[in-house]
Amino acid sequence: MAVRVSSLVKPRGAWWQSLGRDERLWVGLVVIWGLAMFAMIVFIWPAIGARDNDIQAYRVDPATFHDKVEAFTAANKVGEIAGVPVVAAPAGGDAYLEAAAFSWRPFLQLQRGKQYRLLLSSRDLQHGFSLVFGPRSLNYQVLPGYITVVQITPERSGEFPVVCNEYCGLGHHLMLGRVIVKD
């Protein structure tokens, strides 16, 4: 005699019984815990917690963003390191940074204590932007077709490496940028 084996067939015998006292207690605790976590996420943490940077994202044509980076670089270039232009972004203004196959362009020069709008995008594929910037670090995904805008205020002077933290190809480990903060 063949035995029917299917998850859709009702099992034999008495398989369903109402919940016992301990099971009802645990289900009640789980529901209460879930509601408490929902309230914490939606109401309590935003009210009392410190927020990281506000970020915004917009759609952009990669060629248009590249043209803006080139114009920004031409207007604010102050030097060059290993063939990469060093650009002094105007205090309180925009600072453009573009990711492309294994490089960040340009190197940015900022002033400590001044606020900037950092505009990030990629020309070719997904990259990761990682900057350990004084007491804080910034980590964002950089996508082609999108501008990520971050408000930053450098708190320490020095040179800070920009690292791609999203594997982007064979030259991924060579993809280093630089942010130079001066007093």
The pLDDT tens digits of the residues spanning 85-144 come to 999 999 999 999 999 989 999 999 999 999 999 999 999 999 999 998 777 788 999 999
% helix, strand, coil for the chain, step of 5: 25, 40, 35
Determine contact, residues 96/102, Cβ cutoff 8 Å. no
Task: Give DSSP secondary structure letters for 78-147.
Answer: EEEETTEEEEEPPTTSEEEEEEETTEEESEEEEETT--EEEEEEESSS-EEEEEEETTEEEEEEE-BTEE
DSSP at 55? E
Of residues 53, 50, 150, 167, the one with CA closest to residue 97: 150
- pTM, entire model: 0.72
Burial 22-42 (b: 16+ CB within 10 A, else e): eeeeeeeeeeeeeeeeeeeee
**Quick one: pLDDT at residue 85?**
94
The pLDDT tens digits of the residues spanning 19-78 come to 889 999 999 999 999 999 999 989 888 888 766 667 889 999 999 999 999 999 999 999
